[in-house]
Amino acid sequence: MSQILSVGLGEAVVCKDPRAVLVAYGLGSCLGVAMYDPVNRLAGLLHAVLPTSGNGYQDNPYKYVDSGIQALVQAMEAAGAQRRYLIVKLVGGANMLLSSALSHTFEIGTRNVQAAYSILEAMGLKVAGVEVGGNVGRTVKLFVESGKLVVRRIGGVEQTL
């Protein structure tokens, strides 16, 4: 039987238990960053809220895409993952504001995705899969046993990424 581990706003979970499923619910403009090391069978999921910390993330590095990705990689490595094996996938980053004036001003979802690509490139990590953008929320499930990532758009069907 699966053990569901919920990953809330500004949180990350790293897990090696093959029975566990890491889940981030209702990703709108937030970005889910899934990492999996298939050799060491270790999974991690970040639920970041904003793109950059401006280096002021002492309270919670996982709230921000830039510091959250760095902290997640460090936590994965501390748990036994090796960076060279990490498979990285991005989910979310929607632009939820429908008013064109507001959406162009904030574009938090787009900025979250851009921040992820920037920090991942700087860390030498490549993105293996994406389900980002648009204006609809998503829920993501990362299965620790296999590294399978399942994405469900609000009002839509599930797909494996």
What's the CATH code of the domain at 11? Answer: 3.30.1330.200
Write down the pLDDT at residue 105: 53
The predicted-structure confidence for 121-161, as pLDDT tens digits, reads as follows 999 999 999 999 999 999 999 999 999 999 999 888 899 99
How many domains are contained in the chain?
Answer: 1
pLDDT in tens, 18-29: 999 999 999 999
How much is the pTM? 0.93
Other Cβ atoms less than 10 A from the Cβ of 37: the count is 22
Chain position carrying tokens 């309270």: 59
pLDDT tens readout for residues 113-125: 999 999 999 999 9
- Residues serving a catalytic function are 30
- Please say if the pLDDT value at position 12 is more than 80: yes
The CA radius of gyration of the chain, in Å to the nearest whole number, is: 15
The neighbouring-strand residues paired with 43 are 15, 36
Average pLDDT over all residues of the chain: 92
Structural domain that includes position 12: 3-160
Whether residue 80 has pLDDT greater than 80: yes
Residue count (the chain): 161
